Structure 1
Amino acid sequence: MPLSFKQHIENLFKNSQTFSDSNKVLFIPKILEAIEKIDIELIKILKNDDRAKKHFFTQVDDIFVLNQNKLIEFFTLNDYMKNGSYTSYTNKIGLIKKDNFIKKFDDVVLAFPHKDCILEGGQTKDDDKKEEVFYNEILSSNEIDRLFEPKVLTNIKRYSKDEVQENCEIKDDDNLIIKGNNLIALHSLKKKYAGKVKLIYIDPPYNTGNDSFKYNDNFNHSTWLTFMKNRLEVAKEFLSDDGVIFVQCDDNEQAYLKVLMDEIFGRENFISIVTCKVKSAGGLTTDTEMFFDCSEYLQIYSKNINNLKYNSIKIQTEIINANSKTAKQYNSLINNINFDKKEFIVQKDEIKYYKIPKGNFNIETLSIKQMSEKDFFNKRDEIFRLTALSGGIGKKLKRHIEDFSNNEDLFLYEYTPSKGKDKGKLSQYLLYKNQTITMLNKLIYTDTKNQKIIKLEPVSNIITDDLWQGISNEGQIQFKNAKKPETLIKRILEIATNENDLIMDYHLGSGTTCAVAHKMGRRYIGIEQMDYIEDIAVQRLKKVIDGEQGGISKAVNWKGGGDFVYAELKQIDTFKDVEIGALNKNMQYFPISEIEDETYNVKKEEIEINKKFYGIENE
């Protein structure tokens, strides 16, 4: 009995080590990927078999053209698809390579149910639980094209200090707040803002079961990954070539999110994972956990690591006095150095060495306990500590100074660094007793008014400051779903942006990102689909314009001013008396292509605003 066509095609692929494992089990994701890429090996397998060639190829003169859609349908609509889901991925979540889920490989891809689908995510209230359709990227291409078509903006208002202007023009450099599904809003804005955003910060739902990610789906974990993937892929298109993205998350999904972001942004563009302390121990919770859960994470990626630009900033840690940790380390003083007495010794590896003989400088140990804050202030340019030679330059120094170092003389070396903040600049450093002299004045902020010095430290990938302490009323609004501190967003913006740069947050929540951007002179786009946007984020930004003094206001000398434009994606269900037809229940927004359809009675001024915003020519 001849094999069925399905069995015949299966056998073709089972004979390939690329597309099946040692047990002759087909690796469907690999086959689908090969179809997408028009893989040469896959084409040869099919073209060299008469039955396959007849079914999957179309002949044009002497040329055979592969029908990709037909081949994809074969592998997606047969028994390979479980539970009636139009997806090419299994119900298992994990890392895959070639023919198996694996635990460790350098080159991996995250596979999960519905990975090749689009999840709209249309929740508008925190307590909603919504059953949504997964649109497969190929099989549901018509639905997806309609879903992602730019949508009409309505209820457009410009908020400034003294007025609210309705039906206003949206200018290219306006601050913009959009109410509506963030996936659809991103696709609506993509053409206008692609390549223009310097920083994206998002604090998405964490899929804890207690947050706003509530979907009635058998694969809640994979649903979350699909939800994130759909949005991150389009968000990447907004970033400028030197742009960066910060994604905040907790332990529930951070490991999978890291691999997903590696796939979307490229492992080579990974910058860091920053651990943030978000709460302090206390109460009963610490007694019921093996480890007290007090951290969240910032996953940071660049659009292109080769174009990355950032600002090196330092944070204030402690006032330096007799009781400070810094004073116990920086407990020596050097002065009266006579550089005219320096003697050239040798040059090695482009490093020049000099000796300043004993008697031409003064070094002494400080009596820290007797020093006041003013004493530290007055001696700040003379206080130092000795640090061991380390790093690449340290290894060279150790090797070089073996021939001439001693414990009595002071040594000076100078060279031009090839990287780092002093790249290309001739730099001089002092050595004493085979160690580097590190001056206190290199890491302090001087408070001249109060005659104090404050230690500065570079921003590290662990944030232990109590930034979350006392933020419940920041912005003069209450928000139960975990506001982020203005100080945290300020720090991110200081590192990754400059004035007038464009910032985006498409999980706007309470509006912290845009509030901080406004106070710091950055432009911004904020998107939020929850119904509370007008009561929370918009009200907060109005108070920012009025000059509210919470959060970072005093630190940045904020006095108020500026404006922003608020707009909503126009919902189809607002047209109560219009028969819309058999439109999918998830297609809830009005496409720009139908804005002039007289059936819907869209106001003339609204039509003109939208056409100008989207760059649509009048016919």
Structure 2
Amino acid sequence: MLDLLDNLTTHFNSKENLVTLIIEHNEKLLDFMLNSKLANEYKKHFFEEIAGSLVFKEKALLEVLENKELNNSYTRFKNKIGLTKKGHFLQSSELVVLNFPFKDNILLGNAKDNNTKSNELFYHEILHKNEIESLLNQKVLCNFEMHGHGDLENALKDKNTNYLIKGNNLIALHSLKKKFAKQVKCIYIDPPYNTGNDSFNYNDNFNHSSWLVFMKNRLEIAKEFLKDNGVIFVQCDDNEQAYLKVLMDEVFGRDNFVSCITMLSSTPSGVKTAHRNKTIIKTKDYLLVYAKNSLLIQLKPQYKEATTWDTHFNLYFDREHNRVFPLSHILRQNGLYEKLKATQNYLNDKDFCNFIYSNADKIFQTGKSLPERIRAISLKTENKDIPIKYESDTGIQYAYNGRRMSFLSRSIHSVLSSQGIEQKIAILLCDFWNDIDFNNTQNEGSVSFPSGKKPEQLIYRILDMVTNENDLVLDFFAGSGTTCAVAHKMNRRYIGIEQMDYIETITKERLKKVIEGEQGGISKKLNFKGGGSFVYCELKEVNLKIKKDICNATNSSECLEIFNTLSERILKRIDCDMHALTSEEFKTLSLDEQKEILCNLLDSNEDYLNLGDIDESTWEIDTKTKQYNKLFYSK
């Protein structure tokens, strides 16, 4: 049996990859099993003949892969102490994925490029629903801080308060659900892409199936936060986009799919071109957009400033005399025509721009769409070259020689330019955005976050499209705090959730600078001068704090010392054999394997302190913190 498994694992590179292929009933996997030299053995153990056809027994193969007899010291030891479900594979629909990022260099401020890796341990734990007892109950909040104007107690009572919360986002969302359900107008998240590129702080490298479960858990609870007319934006790349689309169809419903926006996010230069002979260089990201109810959403059209003059606007309407002239004739009369002949782009000429904006309701091009009755009137011989006025559902319109007159004024819209929000000749943005600079965001917000920071202009566009002032915005992968910072500058309410320790040194500090009036990103464009406030707090850590200490240990003895000196109140898993930790077998495991074993022995239900346990003397929760929790969780 082991030969069969080794053969599959070797051919398909890893056990993790093999599990994904089995779940998918991958054609290449099945073909390999049925046509290899061990085909008869594979058929005997993992296929069943029904009505003349071979049926793949995926569960049988998955159970063997997870079986306690696997010849792997780490897996064997996990089985020995009771950490592996023996003979039972957990279907993804029954799982919850928790992730615990622990690192030696928390900030990684010395990362020089996208290829710099941290010496990091990132454990994600898969829990069966039967194992989840109090995991998703409301948790105690601690370390409250008030930043900006106002006092903390009043802020906790105020429904308009902004929040930045440190803690596991899945657990935090469940803690916040009762308070904020059906109140969020827009969710934006930029989750780990599952690329295997851990260049700064987040380890993206989940097993594919685990990543989908990880996302499913969070999307399902996030949906409960959305108002009926709310919208969610999820940023991703090619690696998981197709799978994530199917998952979001399942969670939000295919009828509520709004768009998949493609964004030009990088340029083909430098190290990106090193493998151009073997691959097509990636320069884009995606935004998957879903509505809570697509029938109820209202989107504000978005525009970008036109950079070249549309020469189709070549006619001029003299309204006073009801006559039409070539635009070139009018430009010549105003002394602009000869000057413009030497200009590559008319829109670069200040005098030309002043003229066309002043005469935008007179300069026009013609289009086909015209009521047939009006077309017939316009085409009469006596009406040749004469504008015909008529009324439509949208107001007064004009026809000219059988075509509709489309004025330049209808192409002028509010855009966020380098000078702020201005009325500009603009182009309607659809599902391809190529005008946002993703390459110069390193120091937006006056904080350094070399990889993964999103441009403030991107978040501005999203929030401008679907929200109004005072609407509530949620980002539960807050990262460097771009979503919260932009929401603050746009006078939107916000909730940011981040579990990484850099929330204290980067995210929180960025928002403090926003209150002080930092002028990076979109601040100058919006004439933002500072002000406002937010409340910072943390989920109260219990077992999670110990897991961090274990993962920061430098040797096996230090790990065991941390684990063995825990108080009796710290809950370990009662279904495991702790005595095996003193065995020679445990000592033969690598340090990372020992750390993961010890972390898994700590009950994940006790990672954070349940709100119902706040009064237990063991936890020494002070009176003020109890009072703040009461205020926060009260309706």
- Please give the TM-score of this superposition, normalised by the length of structure 1: 0.70
Give the secondary structure class of the aligned counterpart of 1:147: coil
**Do the aligned residues in 1 keep the contact of 2:102 with 2:122 (CA within 8 Å)?**
no
Question: Does 2:220 align with 1:233?
Answer: yes
Say whether 1:308 aligns with 2:323: no
2:569 aligned with 1:579: yes
1:604 Cα deviation from its structure 2 partner = 1.7
Distance apart, 1:599 and its partner CA? 2.1
- CA shift at 1:229, angstroms? 0.5
Task: Tell me what 1:535 maps to.
Answer: 505
Task: Answer whether contact 2:378 2:400 (CA < 8 A) is retained.
Answer: no
Note closer, same or farther for the CA distance 1:380–1:132 as it changes in structure 2 (3 Å cut): closer
Deviations 1:202-259 (A, max 9, x none): 0111111013554886xx1111111111000000000001100000111111111111
SS of equivalent to 1:492: helix
- Per-residue Cα deviation, 1:539-559 (whole angstroms, up to 9, x for no partner): 000000000011000111111
Structure 1 residue 25: Cα displacement:
7.4
The answer as to 2:175 corresponding to 1:195 is no
**1:144 maps to what in 2?**
132
- 1:330-341 counterparts in 2 under 5 A? 330-336=313-319
Q: For 2:619, which of 578, 583, 600 is the aligned residue?
A: 600
Q: Who is 1:364 aligned against?
A: 326
The answer (yes or no) to whether the contact 1:505–1:525 under 8 Å persists in 2 is yes
In the TM superposition, what are the counterparts of 1:359-508 in structure 2 within 5 Å? 360-366=322-328, 369-370=337-338, 372-373=351-352, 374-389=354-369, 397=371, 401=375, 405-406=379-380, 407-416=384-393, 426-444=394-412, 454-508=424-478
Separation in 1 of the partners of 2:461 and 2:472? 16
Quick one: distance in 1 between partners of 2:571 and 2:486? Answer: 44
Q: Which residue of 1 aligns with 2:284?
A: 295
Deviations 1:275-316 (A, max 9, x none): 111122322523532433111111100001111123234333
How big is each residue's C-alpha offset from its partner over 1:548-576, in whole Å with a ceiling of 9 and x where there is no partner?
01100011111111111111110114596
Name the residue aligned to 2:238: 251
Aligned length: 474
* Structure 1 partner of 2:165: 178
Change (3 A) 1:171 1:578: farther
| C-alpha distance in 1 between matches for 2:357 and 2:501 | 54
Aligned partner letter, 2:251: I
2:630 maps to amino acid: K
1:114 partnered with 2:104? no
1:134 matched to 2:121: no
Query: How far apart in 2 are the matches of 1:188 and 1:446?
Result: 40
Give the one of 309, 333, 357 matched to 1:325: 309
As a proportion of its length, which structure holds more helix? Answer: 2
Secondary structure at 2:295's aligned position in 1? helix
Unaligned 5+ segments in structure 1 are 1-19, 30-75, 86-111, 319-323, 339-359, 417-425
Contact 1:244 1:496 in 2 (8 A): yes
- The answer as to whether partners of 2:324 and 2:385 remain within 8 angstroms in 1 is no
Alignment of 1:83 with 2:65, yes or no, is yes
Separation in structure 2 between the aligned mates of residue 578 and residue 173 of structure 1, nearest angstrom: 41
Q: Report if aligned partners of 1:124, 1:529 keep a CA contact under 8 Å in 2.
A: no
- TM value normalised by structure 2: 0.68
Cα RMSD, aligned residues only: 3.3
**Residues 514, 525 of structure 1: 8 Å contact kept:** yes
SS of equivalent residue, structure 1 residue 291: coil
Q: Is the 8 A contact 1:131 1:215 kept in 2?
A: no
Check conservation: 1:155, 1:167, Cα contact below 8 A: no
101, 120, 127: which one pairs with 1:123?
101
Q: Which secondary structure does the structure 1 equivalent of 2:450 belong to? A: coil
Correspondence 1:271 to 2:258? yes
Aligned to 1:224: 211
Where does residue 56 of structure 1 map in the other structure?
A: none
- Cα distance in 2 for residues equivalent to 1:385 and 1:215: 51
For 1:612 and 1:23, how far apart are their aligned partners in 2? 67
Q: Distance in 1 between matches of 2:259 and 2:398?
A: 33
8 Å CA contact retained: 1:545, 1:561: yes
Q: 2-side partners of 1:497 and 1:177: how far apart?
A: 20
Equivalent-residue separation in structure 2 for 1:475 and 1:215 (angstroms)? 24
In structure 2, the CA distance between the partners of 1:240 and 1:166, relative to structure 1 (3 Å rule), is closer
Determine if contact 1:21/1:27 at 8 Å carries over to the other structure. no
The CA distance in 2 between the partners of 1:487 and 1:291, in whole Å, is 28
Residue 157 of structure 1 corresponds to which residue in structure 2? 145
Q: Which amino acid aligns with 1:520?
A: M
Read off the aligned partner of 1:430 and give its amino acid letter.
Y
Q: Is the CA contact 2:485–2:510 (under 8 Å) kept in the aligned structure 1? A: yes
196 and 25 in structure 1: CA distance in 2 versus 1, 3 angstrom threshold: farther
Equivalents in 2 of 1:548, 1:399: separation in Å?
58
Kindly indicate whether structure 1 or structure 2 has the higher relative contact order, using CA contacts under 8 Å at least 6 residues apart. 2
Give the AA of the match of 2:395: S
**Inter-CA distance 453–153: structure 2 relative to 1 (3 Å threshold):** closer
For residue 442 of structure 1, give the secondary structure of its aligned residue in structure 2.
helix
Distance 1:415 1:314 in 2: 25
Change (3 A) 1:558 1:167: closer
The verdict on how the C-alpha distance between 1:516 and 1:403 changes in structure 2, with shifts beyond 3 A counting, is closer
- CA distance in structure 2 between the partners assigned to 1:459 and 1:434 by the alignment: 29
Gapped regions of structure 2 (runs ≥ 5): 1-48, 68-89, 107-117, 332-336, 341-350, 547-565, 574-600
CA apart distance, 1:167:
12
Q: Give, in whole Å, the separation in 2 of the partners of 1:216 and 1:313.
A: 35
The aligned amino acid for 2:396 is Q
CA distance in 2, matches of 1:261, 1:272: 12
Q: Does structure 2 retain, via aligned residues, the 8 Å contact 1:242–1:308? A: yes
